[in-house]
Amino acid sequence: MSTVSDTEVDDVVDTNAPAEDVEIEEPEAQDSDVERAAKHTPSAIPLRVEGLRKEFGGIVAVDEASFEITEGTLTGLIGPNGAGKSTTFNCITGVHEPTAGQVQFNGEDITGLSPDRIANRGLVRTFQIARELEEMTVMENMMLAPKGQRGESLWRSVLPFVRRSVSEQEEEILERCWEMLEFFEIDHLADEYAGNLSGGQRKLLELARALLTEPTVLLLDEPFAGVNPSLEERLLGHIHDLRDDGYTFLIVEHDMDLIMQNCERVIVMHQGRVLTEGPPAEIKRNEDVIEAYLGGEVE
């Protein structure tokens, strides 16, 4: 089992560090060099999509889409209905196998891996709560969510006595579930059936479940759909807090104002292709984007 490559990311950082100041006599000077290198390091690209294509029978849902997502940013993926946004997410996260193209996560080719293997590497998307999970409580949903226990199966098989600590581990998981529910301020709903939650509360639960896999990059497909304005604000606040902590987000959303006000970068898809990408101010006045939206269904 391969692990996600913090070291590889570090390697990239090192190669790109300025090669000046080679004297390393004083430890203090070394520290400041490291700090300086960190400041001047080009941002890491955890997710890279190249020439992605997905066909369903005769329909080309995604047509040679290529883009990069920068670490620690909030990027919006927009486009008219049927532009291929959800299919792109599905191809990135292993739900669909792409017809062609490549998905790279932290520099490794993850194209065609299963969703759980991709999630284990730290790339997750939120899923709507399935009908059978509606009949379980919020906490049961949390406990059933796949957990980020990278390497667990390896050390379990190598060290059988570790099994004894399983209940300890379950305690830990329970504690993390509580922490996550508290973070999203839905801990008071722990015993509520998921089916009884409001649209917004469900979105919070979906995000809480996704975070249990210990992701570094999260793909959110219309996370604010059916969410009332006050919960939307809370959800956005959480996303900003997580982004400030270094998480990376790619968000599909039809509310243009929301995307423009919250994302550093916006990627526009149209008829399966990446039409353009850039900072929100540029996207807003891009003639091709205006045309694409006016030509299709206006949101």
Rounded to 10°, the helix 27-40/6-16 angle is 100
Using CA atoms, how far apart are residues 35 and 158, in angstroms rounded to an integer? 39
292: partner contacted, choices Mg ion, ligand ATP, none (Cβ within 5-8 A by kind): none
In this structure, what token pair is assigned to residue 87? Answer: 């299919």
In the complex, the smallest distance separating the C-beta of residue 245 from Mg ion, rounded to whole angstroms, is 27
Query: C-alpha angle 125/76/45, rounded to 5°?
Result: 70
In the complex, the smallest distance separating the C-beta of residue 79 from ligand ATP, rounded to whole angstroms, is 5
Residue 87 near ligand ATP by CB under 6 A: yes
Residue 296 near ligand ATP by CB under 6 A: no
Interface residue with ligand ATP, options 72, 82, 107, 280 (CB under 6 A): 82
In the complex, the smallest distance separating the C-beta of residue 103 from ligand ATP, rounded to whole angstroms, is 15
Residue 86 near ligand ATP by CB under 6 A: yes
Nearest to 205 by CA among 217, 193, 219, 214: 193
Binding to ligand ATP, residues 27-66 (CB under 6 A): 56, 59, 61
β strands within 2-99, DSSP E: 47-56, 59-69, 74-78
Q: Which of helix, strand or coil describes residue 90?
A: helix
Q: Residue 42 or 57: which CB sits closer to ligand ATP?
A: 57
84: partner contacted, choices ligand ATP, Mg ion, none (Cβ within 5-8 A by kind): ligand ATP
Interface residue with ligand ATP, options 46, 84, 98, 215 (CB under 6 A): 84
Strands in 47-56's sheet, in edge-to-edge order, are 59-69, 47-56, 100-105, 108-109
Using CA atoms, how far apart are residues 231 and 249, in angstroms rounded to an integer? 19
Nearest to 202 by CA among 250, 136, 247: 136
Residue 295 near ligand ATP by CB under 6 A: no
Token pair 């062609």: residue: 100
Stretch touching Mg ion by CB under 5 A, among 86-94, 131-139, 172-180, 285-293: 86-94
DSSP state of 111: T
In the complex, the smallest distance separating the C-beta of residue 134 from ligand ATP, rounded to whole angstroms, is 22
Stretch touching Mg ion by CB under 5 A, among 82-90, 138-146, 174-182, 243-251: 82-90
Residue 278 near ligand ATP by CB under 6 A: no
155: partner contacted, choices Mg ion, ligand ATP, none (Cβ within 5-8 A by kind): none
Residues of the chain by 3-state class (helix, strand, coil), percent to 5: 45, 20, 35
Q: Are 139 and 177 in contact (CB under 8 A)?
A: yes
Residue 106 near ligand ATP by CB under 6 A: no
Q: Residue 112 or 195: which CB sits closer to ligand ATP?
A: 112
Residue 90 near Mg ion by CB under 5 A: no
User: Cα-flanking dihedrals φ and ψ of residue 38, to 5°?
Assistant: -60, -40
Q: Residue 87 or 141: which CB sits closer to Mg ion?
A: 87
Q: Residue 76 or 79: which CB sits closer to ligand ATP?
A: 79
Do β-strands 217-221 and 123-125 pair in parallel, antiparallel, or remain unpaired? parallel
Contact positions toward Mg ion, by CB under 5 A?
86
Contact positions toward ligand ATP, by CB under 6 A?
56, 59, 61, 79, 81-87
